[in-house]
Structures are given as structure tokens and as C-alpha cells.
Amino acid sequence: MLLAKVYVTPKKAILDPQGKAVAASLHALDYTEVSDVRMGKYLEIRLHGLAADQARQRVEEMCQRLLANQIIEDFRFELVEQSER
């Protein structure tokens, strides 16, 4: 079984109001070393019955078609081999 760890984040050029709010809150809590925060999504997708190259292609398609809005978001993912439960 493969586990796809998918990370979706706003593109650098896109304003991130949630990230700005978190950064402001961290500053208010005296974490002054924080210079920027970007909020995103993290998804775990378990895949079975696919070779690694097939899984990579399918997850890429999932991200492009549903999981990320490519106009305002970037995505990346990694595949990890996982034992059956």
C-alpha cells in the first residue's frame, strides 16, 4: 500500500489572510521571530493496487482536477510505502 502525503498551499503571489492572522497572533504572543505564515491543506491518501509510477500519475491527476485550485494554489506530494493494516 502507498500513502500519498499531499500539501496544498497558496501561491506566493496570492494574499493569504489566514496566514497573516496567524502571524499577527504569534507576534501578539511574543513570537517576534516569525516573519511570515502561509496556511494550507494537508491530505493523506492511501492507495492500493498501484505501482509507484502509476500512483504518482494518479495523485498528480487528483491534485490537478480536485484537490488544488491551480489558479491560486500550488501543490506537492510524496509517496511513502506503507504496510497493510
One-letter amino acid at 11 equals K
**Strands of the sheet with 73-81, listed across from one edge:** 41-47, 2-10, 73-81
Characterise 30 by phi-psi region: left (phi > 0), alpha (psi -120 to 50), beta (else).
left
Name the CATH code of domain 2-81 (choices 3.40.1210.10, 3.30.1600.10, 3.40.50.300, 3.30.1280.10): 3.30.1280.10
Domain ranges of the chain: 2-81
**What residues contact 21, with CB distance under 8 A and at least 6 apart?**
none
C-alpha cell at 83: 504496510
Question: Full-prediction pTM beyond 0.85?
Answer: yes
Q: Residues 23-49: pLDDT tens digits?
A: 999 999 999 999 999 999 999 999 999
Q: Residues 74-85: pLDDT tens digits?
A: 999 999 999 876
